[in-house]
Structure 1
Amino acid sequence: MFQESQFGSQQGGASVSLWLADSIARTPVAQPPQDWRARLREWSDAVELVPDLGQRVGSLTWFRGLATCIGLCATAIYLSPGFQPVPGAPGALLGEKQFDEVRSQMITPLALGADSGHRMGSTDAVQPLRQTPERPQIELNAQVGSSDTLSRALSRAGVSSGDVATINALVGSDVAGGVKPGTRLDIILGRRASRDRPRPLDRLAFRARLDLGMELTRAGGVLSVKRIPIRVDDTPLRIQGVVGDSIYRSARAAGAPPKAVQAFLRVIAGQVDLGRIGAGDRYDIVTAYRRAETGDVEVGDLLYAGLQRASGKSIDMLRWTKDGRTEWFEASGVGERRGVLSSPVAGRMTSGYGQRRHPILGYTRMHAGVDFAARYGSPIYAVTDGVVAFAGRHGGHGNYVRIQHGGGLATGYAHMSRIAAAPGQRVRRGQVIGYVGSTGLSTGPHLHYELYRNGATINPLSVKFTTTAQLAGAELSAFRAKLAQYKGLHVGEQDRFAQKALGPVTSGK
């Protein structure tokens, strides 16, 4: 509103007037006469439109500037827009009952016992309880862990040791092999007689096996057990399909369980290089499969492994038990196990077969075996099946075991700390026959392993044992009948006992 003078002590109004006069004078169009310019300068000096209110306070010029300022402010206020309040309708008043209902949803009632609105918080007439009343029952859900037992799972859930002992006595014969990890335990604990005593078990329900459910209840203070049989279909599961870029992914995509596919690959790998199985080959898997009427399933061992190759020999392998030992047999009834133990002890070879300087005797002589360095007391295994021909002290061999394997072959194990076999005993591949020691002519704990052919020692590393079993007679007929039964299974075969209740067994092509 006021402009500071930039020309010494001249007033802002005079400066404006002079500037206006000079501008008019410099305008090239219509030059005003000199008398008019003089009169304009005189008028601007006489009248100050915008005086400085900070100077000559109280003078006529000052009051004229004040009036001008007030007029301008009044004009701005008069021309300003109005701000009127927006009218709103008042809310309906709540009645007493409605107010109580709304109040029950506020935070305030939480301090008064979370009343519902119909019944408000307690008054001073209410006396607090000395102790909180107990629940009449507690319902719990627990699970048996991977390395857990039924007793530990129950104790962890709060079941008393006395009730756990009673449960073991009632169901011990049904869960002798242990409860499957992940089994759910539905537990109900009842009211206890006093606070210093554990709650009694009122009810326990769990799945003891795929085909058996157990339910224990307390009646008259005594626990009793109810066994609930569950129907199970044990029809083997057959999966067939064509190999794509990966036999594992193809079998999994067809619905084969991971356990069955892994076992199938191990069996096939013993007959053919897995890298040579190409696209277009057909696989055939039969595995033990149990399905309960409740829908639960249990995948068992692999029973049959087949591979039809587009180029090359097809493979048919059947799992069969002969003389108490389960092996894989070809369709012709010939079983063959390759890759038996290459080392009879878990250790490293320190001395080979041949001439060497004896560490104790001090001269060079024939070393008729292979030495394996191992820790004292490490178990020594039979490299293949046979009969123990000798077990005892044997000169420089110390504690020594010799096993006849047939066909003129025999193995010897020397310097044992302890012998775990007896003469005449039949042993099997991988069976422990003794423990590493340093008896006889030995400078430290190790195993001296020898191989004999027709009574003469040979290099043990030059022979790789292969054990072959041959089925014949009635056993071969039973074997072929079982093979035909597995190969005759229909892919996607239905459950035999409850098709409507269970639906089809999962399978694939």
Structure 2
Amino acid sequence: MTINAILSSATDRLADAVRTATRSWSAAPGGKVPFLALASAGSAGGGGARAAAAPKGFVVDLGSDIGTAAWWRGLGSLTAMTAVLGWVALSPAKLPVFAAPALDDQQFAALDSVSIAPLSQGGHMGPAAAPTALVQPLAEAPERPRLELVAELREIDSFGAALRRAGVSNTDSAAAADLIAPHIDIAALQPGTEFALVLGRRPGKGKPRPLEELSFRAAFDLRLDLVRGKDGELRARPVPIRIDETPLRISGMVGDSLYKSARANGVSSRVVANFIRAMSPRLNFQRNVYASDRYDIVVEHKVAETGEEQTGDLLYARVEGNGKDLEIARWEVDGEANYFLPDGRSIKEGFSTTPVPGARLSSGFGLRRHPILKSSRMHKGLDYAAWSGTAIQATAPGTVIFAGRNGGYGNQVRIRHNNGIVTSYSHMKGFASGIRSGASVKQGEKVGFVGTTGLSTGPHLHYEVHVNGRAVDPRGQDLPTGLELAGSDLAAFKRKLEDLRAITPRESDVELNKI
């Protein structure tokens, strides 16, 4: 059965239902007509006469006369119409499908020539065509007349090797090195240095490109340019870079950790280490520095006009609070830099207060019960507890007279100083490079590393001081003092100190970039 036949049958049944309902409503007592109209029933304000008139469309009121024949006929008609509409909605008529005509090879090729497709999927730039008489074959592929590239100096490298990797000839590399040598030490160039190169046109087939230009940062305050002139000769042109060398001063509170506080204020770890090392001869950072103390640091600071920043040596340092005020400044004596107090005395009192800066004093000088031998014995030195591998420093300049294994002392170094004084460093993990019998050491120079060799219960340094062959307590012994400025040197030092004090502190959010 087709859809047209179904719709025709449904229409006939609806017409019969309308005629039957109309006759039933006409015979109803009082002429009362149910209200629901599926067709247009007019406006609701038509009055009682209009409601009593015969309906203009099919009218069904399933809310009244329930159970009568008219009611059942209305329900059946409504159900039938709903079913028909649902069937039509769910089973739409199929539209005719027109198949595209098949293309032959010639038609497909013509269509493909004007289509657009990715190159990875076989796309091309139009139909292929045979060359005309205007097309002439090239004897060789053309080259770019000018190449701009960058060469970088590697960790294990040389200036010439870096240029040759970029395509510079041996002749030009050697010529460039000769031109640069009067301005800087080429061997001192740091790994990572970049050379901006320009290579010109080859003079002939198979020959290297000539070096036309070379430019690089030769130093923090210097750029070197090499340019080939019209006469074909390379010439060096130094380009100075203006530098602001105003020292940098940073101040802050010690807080939980002086190291963390200084690092948070932008001070590099190297400068913080120098600060602690310079102050340690007079200040025990482990025991005598508190969270409420304040610190000042002034360091060499350079700012190039190109924006780079560079920090150098510690120039000034101060720690104050809780009854202490230690202030030092850097000054050179006979070409050697030292740190001095405001009155001109060296911060190094001949002997440093500790061979391991920042370490904890775990055992003092005197009679004690030996932790391993379990008997009372004289403890002839001081014990400093520290992590295994921590550096140990010579407390004064001198000559190494022993470096090796010494029974219960484990690995030991003994150093002879002036005035009949000998210091020893025991239980070390190992010796620093160059530490052997007969070697000269400076104050603060590394001699070994904290360990637990020999009769030891854990990583620590056993430090002894002997004066004329007798062991003494380093904390109570009047050991020789260090340098002291006088005369014109002292006056010049004090003027420098006032200049450093007058430097304005920088904001705490500084970031120090290092080259």
Taking the TM superposition and a 5 Å limit, the aligned residue runs for 1:349-498 are 349-350=405-406, 383-384=416-417, 405=418, 407=419, 429=442, 458=469, 468-492=482-506
Taking the TM superposition and a 5 Å limit, the aligned residue runs for 1:52-451 are 81-85=92-96, 103=115, 106-107=118-119, 115=125, 123-125=130-132, 129=138, 131-146=140-155, 148-176=157-185, 178-219=188-229, 220-276=231-287, 277-309=289-321, 311-335=322-346, 336=348, 338=352, 339=355, 341=394, 344=400, 347-350=403-406, 383-384=416-417, 405=418, 407=419, 429=442
User: In angstroms, what is the RMSD of aligned CA positions?
Assistant: 4.5
**CA shift in 2, pair 1:371/1:247, >3 Å:** closer
Taking the TM superposition and a 5 Å limit, the aligned residue runs for 1:11-26 are none
Partner amino acid, structure 2, of 1:488 = A
Contact 2:416 2:422 in 1 (8 A): no
Identity of aligned pairs, percent?
35
**CA shift in 2, pair 1:128/1:410, >3 Å:** same
Give, in whole Å, the separation in 1 of the partners of 2:307 and 2:115.
Answer: 51
Partner amino acid, structure 2, of 1:222 = E
Query: What TM-score comes out, normalization by structure 1 length?
Result: 0.54
Offset at residue 283 of structure 1 (A): 1.1
Offset at residue 482 of structure 1 (A): 1.1
Structure 2 partner of 1:14: none
Give, in whole Å, the separation in 2 of the partners of 1:467 and 1:325.
Answer: 18
Give, in whole Å, the separation in 1 of the partners of 2:345 and 2:405.
Answer: 34
Query: Deviations 1:380-430 (Å, cap 9, x if unpaired)?
Result: 99755xxxxxxxxxxxxxxxxxxxx3x46699xxxxxx9999xxxxx7738
SS of the residue 2:143 aligns to: coil
Partner amino acid, structure 1, of 2:130 = T
Contact 1:492 1:506 in 2 (8 A): no
**CA shift in 2, pair 1:462/1:272, >3 Å:** closer
Contact 1:103 1:109 in 2 (8 A): no
Offset at residue 462 of structure 1 (A): 8.6
Give, in whole Å, the separation in 1 of the partners of 2:283 and 2:254.
Answer: 15
Give, in whole Å, the separation in 2 of the partners of 1:288 and 1:460.
Answer: 42
Give, in whole Å, the separation in 2 of the partners of 1:327 and 1:269.
Answer: 13
Give, in whole Å, the separation in 2 of the partners of 1:247 and 1:431.
Answer: 21
**CA shift in 2, pair 1:146/1:328, >3 Å:** farther
Give, in whole Å, the separation in 2 of the partners of 1:85 and 1:207.
Answer: 78
What stretches of structure 2 of length at least 5 have no aligned partner? 1-86, 100-110, 356-392, 424-435, 446-464
Contact 2:160 2:177 in 1 (8 A): yes
Offset at residue 227 of structure 1 (A): 1.5
Structure 2 partner of 1:62: none
Partner amino acid, structure 2, of 1:480 = K
**CA shift in 2, pair 1:431/1:308, >3 Å:** closer
Partner amino acid, structure 1, of 2:150 = N
Offset at residue 289 of structure 1 (A): 0.5
Taking the TM superposition and a 5 Å limit, the aligned residue runs for 1:30-69 are none
**CA shift in 2, pair 1:462/1:80, >3 Å:** closer
Contact 2:401 2:416 in 1 (8 A): no
What stretches of structure 1 of length at least 5 have no aligned partner? 1-75, 89-98, 353-369, 374-379, 385-404, 412-417, 422-426, 433-450, 494-503
Contact 2:402 2:437 in 1 (8 A): no
Query: Deviations 1:329-349 (Å, cap 9, x if unpaired)?
Result: 222222115246388278423
Aligned pairs, number: 330
Give, in whole Å, the separation in 2 of the partners of 1:218 and 1:315.
Answer: 58
Offset at residue 81 of structure 1 (A): 5.0
Offset at residue 110 of structure 1 (A): 7.6
SS of the residue 1:221 aligns to: coil
Query: What TM-score comes out, normalization by structure 2 length?
Result: 0.54
Structure 1 partner of 2:19: none
Contact 1:381 1:430 in 2 (8 A): no
